Structure 1
Amino acid sequence: MSIKVGVIGAGWMVKYHAEGFRAAGAEIVAVADPAPGAADKAAAEWGIAKTFDSVEKMLAEAPELDAVSIIVPNKFHAPLALQCLKAGKHVFCEKPPGLSAAEVEEMVKLAEETGKKLMFNFNNRARPESQAMKAYVDDGTVGRINSAQAKWIRRTGIPGFGGWFTTKAMSGGGATIDLLHMIDLSLYLMGYPEPAYVLANTFDDHITDPGFKGPWGIPDREGGTTDVECAAHGFVTFKSGQVLSLQVSWAEMVKREEVSVVFQGTKAGGKVERLFGRDGLDETAIDTCELYVQENGNSVDRTITTEACEDMGRIHSAANFIHTINGTAEPLNTPDQAHKLMLIIDALYESAATGKPVAV
């Protein structure tokens, strides 16, 4: 019997959720969105039978739902996840997990109490390069990763001015919380160690400059708020002795958009990287996956060739949620890991505000 899924939010990410769920054998039976006509448009495009203008109506009038996916602004991730878990549904939620670690902790507790799956769309874990590198970590080739550098930087990548992305009350922050994927991927490869301290600073130099808007940015909102950072640099230490440095930006004086994790292990180093010729344009991207080893007294750089993945793992990530529910795959991410990630994000913002290291 196939898993029946309802989608909350009718934006562009529905494409990837729908393809992933269906690839795993699930059925998408409903979509809900309060914006007039949004649910009907998505339903027509993706062949979804039922449409609703509220989550309450969807849960009440589509009781056959086993699971929901949440594709809405960050502020609503936790409230909707809690609402759906209480209704007895498995939950797949877009990143970030919530606005804070406290919100995620509440989500984790309720998922445990209800026995329902709670997963997040950390899709960069599902990229072929990331999975190939994780296999080398798991089989001992890399050894222990002592240090890593996480980077998602853009030169011109502010996603609109005055909308929910640049409004802290709606988003929880700017580039850091939006582009947290490489921080998560670093932690994933490192074994998600327990964080100890965070030292960081944020910068908002270009947050009101239209010259730094991304090519795919959402429409500007006249008179809207721009109270978030456009760049962050920081350093995380872990109780295990491992360390992580990070650089994240929407708008920063760099050559091009770069998405990468570089690490140094006891047996091998490595890199998973995506370089863009122009910010935000996938068709200009070049993916690289490499291992660095010493063999027979020589420095050897191994190139790992993987299949192309233009969707950056989004389809595989969604499919993994369904396979996890069915018990045919291990989850690519866990609620505990999401909570640790948000503890680090919270500490990063606190350190930037206070100018001091923050104990996690």
Structure 2
Amino acid sequence: MSIKVGVIGAGGMLQYHAAGFRQAGAEIVAVADPAPGAAARATEKWGIANAYESVDAMLAECAELDAVSIIVPNKFHAPLALQCLKAGKHVFCEKPPALKAAEVEEMIAVADSVGKKLMFNFNNRARPESQAMKGYCDDGTVGSINSAQAKWIRRTGIPGFGGWFTTKELSGGGAVIDLLHMIDLALYFMGYPEPAHVLANTFDTFITDRGFKGPWGIPDRADGTNNVEAAAHGFVTFKTGQVLTLQVSWAEMVKREEVSVVFQGTKAGGKVERLFGRDGLDETAIDTCELYVQENGNSVNRTIVTPACEDMGRSNSARNFIEAIEGKAAALNTPDQAHKLMKIIDALYESAASGKPVSI
């Protein structure tokens, strides 16, 4: 029998979750969204049987559910994940895992107690080039990664002014918590070591400047709040001796949008990079996946050729959730990794606020 999935949130990410779940042979049987008519419109558009205007109703009335996918503003990730886990459902949650590491810790405890899968949509791990590079990290080609640089930078990429993205109570933070993917990907290549110290600073220079709005996100709210960072720079040390440098921004004086992880290993270095075009993925976008080695006294750069993936791994990530439930594939991410990531993000914000290094 196929896995039956319910989706909470009828926004744009539903298309990718739906595609991935169906690729894995799962059936999407319900959508819940409190916005009047949103769930009904989504069920009609995506051919889903049941629409609900509350999560309570979906969990109570749709008895066939095996798993739930959560696509809502950040503040509601932990409460909804806990509710669905306690109802006996596997949970696939959009990033970030929660607002704070303590919330992830509670989610892990409940998932363990009920014996259900808890996974997160760290979709950039599921990109073909990321999986190819991870293979070289795991098979000994790279050796041990000493240092890495994680970067997701935008010049004009604030996702709307005054909405939930720019309201710390709802989002937990700005560019860092929204664009955490490359921090996660760097840690994934590094073997997710235990963090030791974080030193960071955040900048809100352009957070109210309409000239730095991106071509995506949500509509502006004139009476809304803009109290999150537009950019952050930081440095993380690990108990293993490894180090990570990070740069994340919605709005910063850079040439173009760059999404990358670069690392230096004991046997090889590497880069996974996407340079976006003028308006996202257009003809000027550039993808790079390379290994850097020394052979016979020569510096050799190896290009890794992988299939194109226009959705940046989103469908592959959702498919992996179903396959992990069924035992057909190893989970691409674990709750423990999500907890480590949120501890680093918590420490980053703490360091920025205090102006001092933070021990984890």
Fold match, TM over 0.5?
yes
Partner Cα distance (1:45, 1:69) in 2: 18
Q: How does 1:174-185 map to 2 (within 5 A)?
A: 174-185=174-185
Secondary structure of 1:342's counterpart equals helix
Partner of 1:286: 286
Partner of 1:135: 135
Partner of 1:310: 310
Partner of 1:244: 244
Amino acid at match of 1:245: T
RMSD over equivalenced CA pairs, Å: 0.7
Partner of 1:267: 267
Partner Cα distance (2:208, 2:199) in 1: 26
Q: How does 1:141-160 map to 2 (within 5 A)?
A: 141-160=141-160
Partner Cα distance (1:56, 1:281) in 2: 38
Partner of 2:172: 172
Shift of 1:354: 0.1
Partner of 1:257: 257
Shift of 1:275: 0.2
Partner of 2:347: 347
Partner of 1:49: 49
Partner Cα distance (1:283, 1:190) in 2: 32
Contact residue 262 and residue 271 of structure 1 kept, 8 A: yes
Partner of 2:208: 208
Partner Cα distance (2:282, 2:313) in 1: 13
Shift of 1:285: 2.3
Contact residue 236 and residue 245 of structure 1 kept, 8 A: yes
Question: CA deviation digits over 1:297-344, x for unaligned, max 9?
Answer: 000000000000000000000000000000000000000000000000
Secondary structure of 1:200's counterpart equals strand
Partner Cα distance (1:285, 1:36) in 2: 38
Partner of 1:99: 99
Partner Cα distance (2:64, 2:105) in 1: 28
TM-score w.r.t. the length of structure 1 is 0.99
Amino acid at match of 1:177: I
Secondary structure of 1:147's counterpart equals strand
Partner Cα distance (2:217, 2:154) in 1: 13
Shift of 1:195: 0.1
User: Does residue 289 of structure 2 align to residue 276 of structure 1?
Assistant: no
Shift of 1:222: 1.4
Secondary structure of 2:59's counterpart equals helix
Amino acid at match of 1:182: M
Contact residue 23 and residue 319 of structure 1 kept, 8 A: yes
Shift of 1:249: 0.1
Partner Cα distance (2:310, 2:342) in 1: 27
Secondary structure of 1:148's counterpart equals strand
Shift of 1:120: 0.1
Partner of 1:88: 88
Partner of 2:358: 358
Contact residue 10 and residue 71 of structure 1 kept, 8 A: yes
Shift of 1:283: 5.6
Structure 1 unaligned spans of 5+: none
TM-score w.r.t. the length of structure 2 is 0.99
Q: How does 1:194-233 map to 2 (within 5 A)?
A: 194-233=194-233
How many residue pairs are counted as aligned between the two chains?
360
Partner Cα distance (1:306, 1:277) in 2: 20
Contact residue 97 and residue 104 of structure 1 kept, 8 A: yes
Amino acid at match of 2:286: I
Shift of 1:280: 3.5
Partner Cα distance (1:294, 1:279) in 2: 37
Partner Cα distance (2:285, 2:86) in 1: 41
Partner of 1:117: 117
Secondary structure of 1:233's counterpart equals strand
Amino acid at match of 1:261: V
Shift of 1:241: 0.1
User: Does residue 330 of structure 2 align to residue 330 of structure 1?
Assistant: yes
Secondary structure of 1:252's counterpart equals coil
Question: How has the CA–CA distance of structure 1 residues 282 and 32 changed in structure 2, closer, same or farther, with 3 Å as cutoff?
Answer: farther
